[in-house]
Chain A
Amino acid sequence: MESPAPYAPQNKVRIVTAASLFDGHDAAINVMRRIIQATGCEVIHLGHNRSVMDVVECAIQEDAQAIAMTSYQGGHVEYLTYMRNLLVERGASHIKIFAGGGGTILPSEIETLHANGITRVYSPDDGRSMGLQGMINDLVEKSDFVTPLNYANGLAQSVQEKDPMAIAQAISCAERGDSQRIAFTVNGKRSPVLGITGTGGAGKSSLTDEIVRRFLLDHPDKTIAVVSVDPSKRKTGGALLGDRIRMNAVSDPRVYMRSFATREANVAINPHVRDAINILSYAGFDLIIVETAGIGQSDSQITDVADVSMYVMTPEYGAATQLEKIDMIDYADVIALNKFDKRGALDALRDVRKQYQRSRQLFTSKIDDMPVYGTIASQFNDPGTNTLYRALNDLLTHRCNLSWSSNFEITDEMSEKIFIIPPERTRYLAEIVENNRRYDAFVEKQSELARALWRVQGAIEQLTTSKQQ
């Protein structure tokens, strides 16, 4: 079958993708989200095992036009109907729901779901007749609209009440260039901003999640907003906004999160992040975290908007001279050396501290006092991340004249990994290969010896037999 050309959306279409609750089947949604992105949409992917609440709150906070779900584990009628009801209850009935689940969703159930307000459930037959791109075209076309603004108390007051949809749509207004509608947020009091940037794969979003988690524990009455920026694809205009999937802490009601696509080439920050900061400040969040993708030269743009900025890297940067090329070491207030369980981490810590010291000419200070912290974000309650969190908390308090009091203890201990496999044993699989091959070689050698011996014994036998004849 000929695959139809991708539909070209007129508006910036944002779509949340996920697999249903208690459902680990993520192969199909992973295929779909790629095609949706290639069709020019911004995709906020949440991954598998997502509750209705998770998905609905995400769709509202992200001001998405639609949600695309897969469900292969049963319970889809209840799940999707609940999703629809919750959207309506939250005043977000404009957000459309699309779903698929292969043969697990029966034709009669598809009818029920359509009657319950699910925009479209795609069946295996649809897949065959429309093709993947055809289904996605249908989905994107139905989602190609400007999300409607509708507030009983007006946008300004709703934003001030921290209504997540109002905040989300105010930010979208900014993104659409409708600056007039959000003029009320300019020149207000500004919330403290923590900027986080770093190289791809350094564990930025995991570390951000761990900082948010500690902030929520440490300040039980405070709220936090996270703004995360990922690059847009120049070719299609689509973007994969992938930070949210890593963030477990954002499901807390004290957290608002918004993902941005850069929508421009070669920038790390969407120009409307400043507007977003104004809006979130107006809403009164106690802390705003701005996280940007590290794409090299433009990383340091983050320092323009942040009160305190942090650079996340790993010990795997190559030779020490490479550090001299990293702009952010010169600009960041704090550096997190994540994945501190990697080989050479201690050397890296020393080198990065040295570079930090050199770039600021801090030769009178002790090198161990440089704000470079070894962290293992993947390890629960990692002491290094605790130390880092406390340092950021104190720096923000100091710089922004805040009255925060932290209960997080500073410990001198290094972030020491509780190893599952001790570092000296990580070659175990190679050793097994060597061991087994050694045995095989031994067998071959013994086999050859035995054969030779057999032949010699045979020869002796022949000679002895002929002797007797």
Chain B
Amino acid sequence: MITKHQTDAITTLETLAEGLEAQLHHEVRALLASWEKKKAEYSGEHYTYTVRGKDIRVANYEESLSHTKVPKIALPQFKDWGEIVRWCMQENVPGEFPFTAGVYPFKRTNEDPTRMFAGEGGPERTNRRFHYLSKGMPAARLSTAFDSVTLYGEDPDHRPDIYGKIGNSGVSIATLDDAKKLYSGFDLCSPTTSVSMTINGPAPMLLAFFMNAAIDQECEKVIRERGLVENVEEKIDAIYAAKGLSRPIYRHGDGSTELPDGNNGLGLLLLGVTGDQVLPADVYAECRKRALQSVRGTVQADILKEDQAQNTCIFSTEFALRLMGDVQKYFIDEGVRNFYSVSISGYHIAEAGANPITQLAFTLANGFTYVEYYLSRGMDINDFAPNLSFFFSNGVDPEYSVIGRVARKIWAKAIKQMYGGNERSQMLKYHIQTSGRSLHAQEIDFNDIRTSLQALYAIYDNCNSLHTNAYDEAITTPTEESVRRAVAIQLIINRELGLAKNENPLQGSFIIEELTDLVEEAVYTEFRRIAERGGVLGAMENMYQRNKIQEESLYYETLKHTGEYPIIGVNTFLSSKGSPTVIPQEVIRSTTDEKEQQINNVRSVQDRNASTTTEALAELRQKAIHNQNIFAALMEAAKVCSLGQMTHALYEVGGQYRRNM
């Protein structure tokens, strides 16, 4: 029987419930209403979602050898609405705000996030290496390392302090011809090609070389489609005959002109000229447009971390930032949507000695600085935020287990609520590389173990792409054998390791949640410190970031020295021989032929374009002085000028970097 008391109680409670429900935000109400439906979506056989208007159907389970159905996304078993609300708003499934567990609902299955890293000698040698690495792979993800001459924006030269560095620790690229050879045989406008360029100070010039190489590839395709090859060859011959010069060619240091296996020659037809010299203006304009809108890749171009940690600044910081803004503006104006204009990098900050919290805080702070700068130039957040990408280092410290989670969460919350960015803008995408500093020159075999653990952190944390270092990198240039082992680390985790079949293995762990909160709080504390110093640029003026990185580096070195921070085979657990430092027998260096060829090539480009470079450089300087888009001018100058010529022209109007102590 029901008493009146009970009826009264129910009425009172219902009033109370109504009042509470009224206080719930409508989105929170919707979230609670759809919770069971969401769970159901992940528990059926398949999950269906939409990307750019296309339905994608993914299996929700992977079966193990024991026939266990391992869910790709495991959801919490919460009943308490308070827990459900908090989880959905602070964690959520991968692919949904605040993207703590990942920016996409599922991992791509057709493409391993393995980059093909190369850079040695002249463009021909690196091109051969790229083709070797990408042979038989469904996608070409070319990561380019440049030699230090290129990294500082200069041309190869016989001057001995330059000469010894040509083509060492990276490829020498000084002209558009070099860029064409470097990427020849890869369709730069294909959706399965992406190119990453590790360059900062002179990034705009190298990007201009790359873009022009892509444009001329599109021109070449049109020329071939329309059967104009002979006609174009005649035109080029005529241009060179008029100058009394011979046409540039693809040629290895040893004199062979043979194309490597897999290189079909695309990009070499127009070596020595640009498409606009041999095609009607309207056809060239179409090719140009098509190329710019389809190229995929990343240029590092992060000048803030250069000044804070890595020192490859060449221009005054303000001018360098302006150049970055011009590149981004150009991307927006020309519809360059699939190319990241900057890779906001914590890697070098960590390599210089920063701990993971400082790495994360400085990097995110730098990222927000670019956001503020681009906004102040009148760009729309949704026009540029999707062009930003991040790059972190991954060590063995506990904080590295949540670095991606914290980064995604902080970024999404700020971009959504403070800057009003859309979902695409809220998604922080990052590449991560295992820490070079954590590799040791003693017991180098142990390095692969460290790299494996770091790779595990990264994969569990849903990084968007990963580079695993070779174990011998601490002492020399990696060999084919050591690189293969490094790639195997990723493949074994992705293909063999059972738990990695699940795509949110960190969610729901008490320690992961607590670490996430602790690291997030620590990042905010650092943000406040930087804010007190007038923001990132204000802090840089007083060398705040540099000093903090140095202090943290010293702290690590001290603990390593005293043994308080144990490193197996380095300061403890030494072998019976004392784990001596391994010294390499020889190091791969560029050959004299390659160096001479690079010098000859850059000189011949300068000579054959002597009449046009003066004008192009004058135009470049004028655009800079009158606050017009410098990158647009660089796109033109790069057709005829060498890297060093452009760098020096910009020094006159933008100022050289002034070193600090």
Cβ of A152 within 8 Å of any chain B Cβ, yes or no, is no
A58-117, CB < 8 A from B: 73-79, 81-83, 103-104, 106-107
A403 to B659: give the CA distance in the assembly, Å. Answer: 35
| Residue of B353, B441, B531 touching A427 (CB-CB under 8 A) | B531
Cβ of B368 within 8 Å of any chain A Cβ, yes or no, is yes
| A248-B538 contact, Cβ under 8 Å, with A73-B165, A451-B82, A464-B10 | no
Task: Report the minimal beta-carbon distance from A57 to chain B, rounded to whole angstroms.
Answer: 13
- Once the chains bind, are A446 and B319 in contact (CB under 8 Å)? no
Give every chain A residue within 8 A of B485 (Cβ-Cβ).
none
- Once the chains bind, are B24 and A22 in contact (CB under 8 Å)? no
- Once the chains bind, are A81 and B160 in contact (CB under 8 Å)? yes
| A430-B531 contact, Cβ under 8 Å, with A48-B311, A78-B161, A420-B318 | yes
- Once the chains bind, are B165 and A429 in contact (CB under 8 Å)? no
| A82-B160 contact, Cβ under 8 Å, with A22-B152, A421-B535 | yes
The interface stretch among A7-15, A192-200, A454-462 is A454-462
The interface stretch among A142-150, A274-282, A373-381 is A373-381
Task: Report the minimal beta-carbon distance from B528 to chain A, rounded to whole angstroms.
Answer: 6
A436-469, CB < 8 A from B: 436-440, 442-444, 446-454, 456-457, 459-460, 463-464, 466-467
Task: Report the minimal beta-carbon distance from B584 to chain A, rounded to whole angstroms.
Answer: 7
Give every chain B residue within 8 A of A449 (Cβ-Cβ).
20, 23-24, 28
- Once the chains bind, are B165 and A21 in contact (CB under 8 Å)? yes
- Once the chains bind, are A48 and B372 in contact (CB under 8 Å)? no
| Residue of B89, B310, B321, B530 touching A420 (CB-CB under 8 A) | B321
- Once the chains bind, are B163 and A429 in contact (CB under 8 Å)? no
- Residue of B with least CB distance to A213: B655
| A446-B24 contact, Cβ under 8 Å, with A106-B586, A245-B660 | yes
- Once the chains bind, are A75 and B164 in contact (CB under 8 Å)? yes
Q: Select the residue from B151, B376, B659 with max chain A CB neighbours within 10 A.
A: B659
- Once the chains bind, are A103 and B584 in contact (CB under 8 Å)? yes
Task: Report the minimal beta-carbon distance from B350 to chain A, rounded to whole angstroms.
Answer: 14
- Once the chains bind, are B312 and A24 in contact (CB under 8 Å)? yes
| A452-B164 contact, Cβ under 8 Å, with A23-B148, A421-B373, A430-B531 | no
Cβ of A49 within 8 Å of any chain B Cβ, yes or no, is yes
| A79-B318 contact, Cβ under 8 Å, with A425-B372, A426-B538, A435-B414 | no
- Once the chains bind, are A209 and B535 in contact (CB under 8 Å)? no
A26 to B660: give the CA distance in the assembly, Å. Answer: 11
| Residue of A47, A206, A446 touching B28 (CB-CB under 8 A) | A446
- Once the chains bind, are A450 and B24 in contact (CB under 8 Å)? yes
| A460-B658 contact, Cβ under 8 Å, with A429-B527, A439-B417 | no
Cβ of B277 within 8 Å of any chain A Cβ, yes or no, is no
Give every chain B residue within 8 A of A27 (Cβ-Cβ).
352-353, 550, 553
Task: Report the minimal beta-carbon distance from A403 to chain B, rounded to whole angstroms.
Answer: 28
Task: Report the minimal beta-carbon distance from B414 to chain A, rounded to whole angstroms.
Answer: 5
Give every chain B residue within 8 A of A442 (Cβ-Cβ).
25
| Residue of B154, B369, B538, B589 touching A74 (CB-CB under 8 A) | B589
Task: Report the minimal beta-carbon distance from B654 to chain A, rounded to whole angstroms.
Answer: 6
Give every chain A residue within 8 A of B149 (Cβ-Cβ).
22
Give every chain A residue within 8 A of B583 (Cβ-Cβ).
103, 106-107
A236 to B299: give the CA distance in the assembly, Å. Answer: 48
B20-35, CB < 8 A from A: 20-21, 23-25, 28, 32
Give every chain A residue within 8 A of B311 (Cβ-Cβ).
24-26, 48-49
- Once the chains bind, are A433 and B169 in contact (CB under 8 Å)? no
Task: Report the minimal beta-carbon distance from B355 to chain A, rounded to whole angstroms.
Answer: 16
Cβ of A363 within 8 Å of any chain B Cβ, yes or no, is no
Cβ of B85 within 8 Å of any chain A Cβ, yes or no, is yes
Interface size, chain B (Cβ < 8 Å): 88
- Residue of B with least CB distance to A437: B524
Interface size, chain A (Cβ < 8 Å): 84
- Once the chains bind, are A75 and B165 in contact (CB under 8 Å)? yes
- Once the chains bind, are B169 and A73 in contact (CB under 8 Å)? yes
Cβ of A422 within 8 Å of any chain B Cβ, yes or no, is yes
- Once the chains bind, are B310 and A24 in contact (CB under 8 Å)? yes
- Once the chains bind, are A206 and B658 in contact (CB under 8 Å)? yes
| Residue of B85, B418, B656, B660 touching A248 (CB-CB under 8 A) | B656
- Once the chains bind, are A379 and B318 in contact (CB under 8 Å)? yes
- Once the chains bind, are B160 and A380 in contact (CB under 8 Å)? no
A429 to B361: give the CA distance in the assembly, Å. Answer: 10
| A381-B655 contact, Cβ under 8 Å, with A450-B82, A450-B84 | yes
- Once the chains bind, are B413 and A439 in contact (CB under 8 Å)? yes
| Residue of A419, A435, A437, A456 touching B17 (CB-CB under 8 A) | A456
- Once the chains bind, are A433 and B165 in contact (CB under 8 Å)? no
- Once the chains bind, are B10 and A429 in contact (CB under 8 Å)? no
- Once the chains bind, are B21 and A78 in contact (CB under 8 Å)? no
Q: How many A-B residue contacts, CB cutoff 8 Å?
A: 232
Q: Select the residue from B16, B310, B589 with max chain A CB neighbours within 10 A.
A: B16
Give every chain B residue within 8 A of A73 (Cβ-Cβ).
148, 165, 168-169
B617-661, CB < 8 A from A: 653-656, 658-661
- Once the chains bind, are B81 and A453 in contact (CB under 8 Å)? yes
| Residue of A24, A448, A456 touching B82 (CB-CB under 8 A) | A448
| A453-B21 contact, Cβ under 8 Å, with A379-B318, A443-B85, A447-B82 | yes
Give every chain B residue within 8 A of A48 (Cβ-Cβ).
311, 659
| A436-B659 contact, Cβ under 8 Å, with A73-B148, A429-B531 | no
Cβ of A223 within 8 Å of any chain B Cβ, yes or no, is no
Cβ of B86 within 8 Å of any chain A Cβ, yes or no, is yes
Give every chain A residue within 8 A of B163 (Cβ-Cβ).
75, 78
- Once the chains bind, are B85 and A380 in contact (CB under 8 Å)? no
Give every chain A residue within 8 A of B537 (Cβ-Cβ).
420-421
A188 to B517: give the CA distance in the assembly, Å. Answer: 73
Using an 8 Å CB-CB cutoff, how does the interface string of A130-146 with B read, 1 for contact, 0 for none? 00000000000000000
Give every chain A residue within 8 A of B310 (Cβ-Cβ).
24
Give every chain B residue within 8 A of A22 (Cβ-Cβ).
148-149, 151-152, 154, 162, 165
Give every chain B residue within 8 A of A233 (Cβ-Cβ).
none
B488-541, CB < 8 A from A: 524, 527-528, 530-531, 534-538, 541
- Once the chains bind, are A421 and B85 in contact (CB under 8 Å)? no
Give every chain B residue within 8 A of A45 (Cβ-Cβ).
661
Give every chain B residue within 8 A of A324 (Cβ-Cβ).
none
- Residue of B with least CB distance to A382: B655
Give every chain B residue within 8 A of A53 (Cβ-Cβ).
161
- Residue of A with least CB distance to B165: A75
Give every chain A residue within 8 A of B527 (Cβ-Cβ).
429-430, 432-433
| Residue of A83, A425, A427, A451 touching B376 (CB-CB under 8 A) | A425
Task: Report the minimal beta-carbon distance from B48 to chain A, rounded to whole angstroms.
Answer: 28
Task: Report the minimal beta-carbon distance from A341 to chain B, rounded to whole angstroms.
Answer: 10
- Once the chains bind, are B658 and A248 in contact (CB under 8 Å)? yes
- Once the chains bind, are A49 and B152 in contact (CB under 8 Å)? yes
Cβ of B567 within 8 Å of any chain A Cβ, yes or no, is no
Using an 8 Å CB-CB cutoff, how does the interface string of B341-354 with A read, 1 for contact, 0 for none? 00000000000110
Give every chain B residue within 8 A of A46 (Cβ-Cβ).
659
- Residue of B with least CB distance to A439: B413
Task: Report the minimal beta-carbon distance from B483 to chain A, rounded to whole angstroms.
Answer: 19
Give every chain A residue within 8 A of B151 (Cβ-Cβ).
22
Cβ of B59 within 8 Å of any chain A Cβ, yes or no, is no
Cβ of A124 within 8 Å of any chain B Cβ, yes or no, is yes
- Once the chains bind, are B376 and A422 in contact (CB under 8 Å)? yes
Give every chain B residue within 8 A of A452 (Cβ-Cβ).
20, 82
- Once the chains bind, are A429 and B160 in contact (CB under 8 Å)? no
Task: Report the minimal beta-carbon distance from A83 to chain B, rounded to whole angstroms.
Answer: 8
Q: What are 28 A-to-B residue pairs whose CB atoms are below 8 Å?
A: A22-B152, A24-B310, A27-B553, A74-B168, A78-B164, A103-B583, A106-B584, A209-B658, A242-B661, A245-B660, A378-B318, A380-B319, A419-B376, A420-B318, A420-B321, A420-B373, A421-B537, A430-B528, A443-B86, A446-B85, A449-B23, A449-B24, A449-B28, A450-B28, A452-B82, A454-B80, A454-B81, A460-B13
Give 16 A-B pairs besides A448-B82, A463-B9 with Cβ atoms closer than 8 angstroms: A30-B550, A51-B161, A53-B161, A73-B168, A75-B162, A79-B160, A83-B161, A107-B583, A245-B661, A418-B318, A432-B368, A435-B413, A436-B417, A450-B24, A450-B81, A451-B81
